[in-house]
Amino acid sequence: MAYVDFLSVIHKSTTRDYLARVNDPEFPKAKAAEMAKKFDFDYWDGDRRINYGGYKYDGRWAKVAKAMADHYGIKAGDKILDIGCGKGFLIYDFTQVVPGVEVRGIDISKYAVDNALEDVKGQIELGHANSLPFDDNEFDLVFSINTFHNLHVYDLDPALREMERVGKAHKYICVESYRNEVEKANLLYWQVTCEAFNTPEEWDWWFKQTGYSGDHSFIYFE
| CATH assignment at residue 189 | 3.40.50.150
Domains identified in the chain, total number: 1
For residue 2, tell me if it sits in a domain: no
Coil, strand or helix at 7: coil
HSE of 143, CA atoms in CB hemisphere, 13 A: 28
Q: Report the C-alpha gap between 183 and 190 in whole angstroms.
A: 10
Q: Is the pLDDT of residue 41 over 80?
A: yes
Residue 54 in this model has a pLDDT that exceeds 90: no
Q: CA 90: distance to chain centroid?
A: 10
Report the chain's mean pLDDT, rounded to a whole number.
Answer: 95
Domain assignment of residue 1, yes or no: no
The yes-or-no verdict on residue 56 having pLDDT over 90 is: no
Q: Are 71 and 7 in contact (CB under 8 A)?
A: no
Whole-number Å distance between alpha carbons of 82 and 142: 6
Is residue 56 in a domain? Answer: no
153-192 tens-digit pLDDT? 999 999 999 999 999 989 999 999 999 999 999 999 999 9
Closest by alpha carbon to 142, among 188, 184, 86, 85?
85
Helix H or strand E encompassing 83: strand 79-83
Residue 125 has pLDDT above 90, yes or no: yes
The answer as to whether 89 is a domain residue is yes
| pLDDT tens, residue by residue, 140-155 | 999 999 999 999 999 9
- Is the residue at 117 inside a domain? yes
What does the pLDDT look like over 5-38, one tens digit per residue? 999 878 877 788 888 888 899 999 899 999 999 9
The confidence band for 128, taking pLDDT boundaries of 50, 70 and 90, is very high
Q: Establish if 99 belongs to a structural domain.
A: yes
**Residue span of the structural domain in which 94 resides:** 8-29+61-219
Sequence-ordered list of residues with C-beta below 8 angstroms from that of 204, at least 6 positions apart, any chain: none
- pLDDT (average), residues 80-93: 98
The verdict on residue 94 lying in a domain is yes
| Distance separating alpha carbons of residues 204 and 140, to the nearest angstrom | 23
What was the pLDDT predicted at 198?
97
Q: Is the pLDDT of residue 200 over 80?
A: yes
Does any domain span residue 35?
A: no
> In degrees rounded to 5, what are phi and psi of residue 213?
-110, 0
CB 52 within 8 A of CB 89: no
Model pTM above 0.85: yes
Rounded to an integer, what distance in angstroms lies between the CA atom of residue 213 and that of residue 2? 9
